[in-house]
Structure 1
């Protein structure tokens, strides 16, 4: 069972909002400033998605060196979703199975990939509802993680 209640507010936002000092984790680990590159083992389809999304997330300090594996899972899930959608669009919703007509198995792959993508997309603020609670200032200021964006609220 996962954690209950709303997601915890990031420490940088707690500081900006003036939360009580005893509620701020002053020992929170901070990822090192490193070059962020797509892992070699990524599929070609996931690499194309990475190349499209990663620069903006890195620029705003959302994607760090510690997030590479989670972000690659997101990219691979979206690539699987696209492949499954192409299969579904090119065939029938019902296909002949061993005991007669059955749901196209690509529908299950598509649904699972969608669930994984949306779960990880929320972690990176890639959906409108997840973005609405975060504001970043893009410019020359450096946030505590060394990225060019600065979390505002």
Structure 2
């Protein structure tokens, strides 16, 4: 029998969302504090995506060494989506097939990459609906102007 209801929210996101303390798993395994590195074997386009998105997620403790493989899938999915979109934009929606005009195969690749990206993006809080309730603090962030007045 399949799962019912939404996927459980990761503890870090529960904390960032401000969930009730009794709903936060304080015994969850914690990833080691080590550098999260971009895999060398990523495609060039996926590396650009990693370099653009990873620093903000790492600073908010959303991307950890244990999450690097899932984030790699996210980056490659977006890179594949961009490549398929370029193919679609450079050709027709219908192309000649063995039986006549058929739907451009790049549309299927584009659609599958989009679904994969959105699935993983939601897990990292990268979509507006997943991000709307986040209350985050950036590691090593300095208080905003006037904050010293409140702390004294």
| 1:51-81 CA distance string (max 9 Å, x none) | 0000111011110000000000000000000
Deviation at 1:41, TM superposition (A): 1.1
Q: Provide the residue aligned with 2:29 in structure 1.
A: 29
Tell me how far apart the structure 2 counterparts of residues 55 and 2 of structure 1 sit (CA, whole Å): 35
Match of 2:90 in 1: 90
After superposing the two structures, state which structure 1 stretch, 24-33 or 47-56, moved more.
Answer: 24-33
Q: Taking structure 1 as reference, are residues 84 and 41 closer, same or farther at Cα in structure 2, changes over 3 Å only?
A: same
Distance 1:139 1:30 in 2: 17
Which residue in 1 is equivalent to 2:77?
77
Q: How does 1:4-153 map to 2 (within 5 A)?
A: 4-11=4-11, 13=14, 17-20=19-22, 24-140=24-140
TM-score by length of 1: 0.81
How many residue pairs align between the two structures?
138
Q: What are the superposed Cα offsets for residues 63-102 of structure 1, whole Å, 9 maximum, x if unpaired?
A: 0000000000000000000000000000000000010000
Cα distance change of structure 1 residues 50 and 11 upon mapping to structure 2, 3 Å threshold = closer
Gaps of 5+ in 2: 142-152
- What is the CA distance between 1:128 and its match in structure 2? 0.3
- Find the residue that maps to 1:39 and give its secondary structure: coil
Instruction: Indicate the residue corresponding to 1:150 in structure 2.
Output: none
Distance 1:8 1:128 in 2: 18
TM-score for the superposition, normalised by structure 2 = 0.82
TM-aligned CA distance change 1:108 to 1:3, over 3 Å:
same
CA change 1:51–1:87 in 2 (3 A) is same
How well do the aligned residues superpose, as a CA RMSD in angstroms?
Answer: 2.0
Residues 22-55 of structure 1, C-alpha deviations (whole Å, 9 max, x = no match): x553431000011111111111110010000001
- Could you tell me how far 1:108 is from its partner in structure 2? 0.1
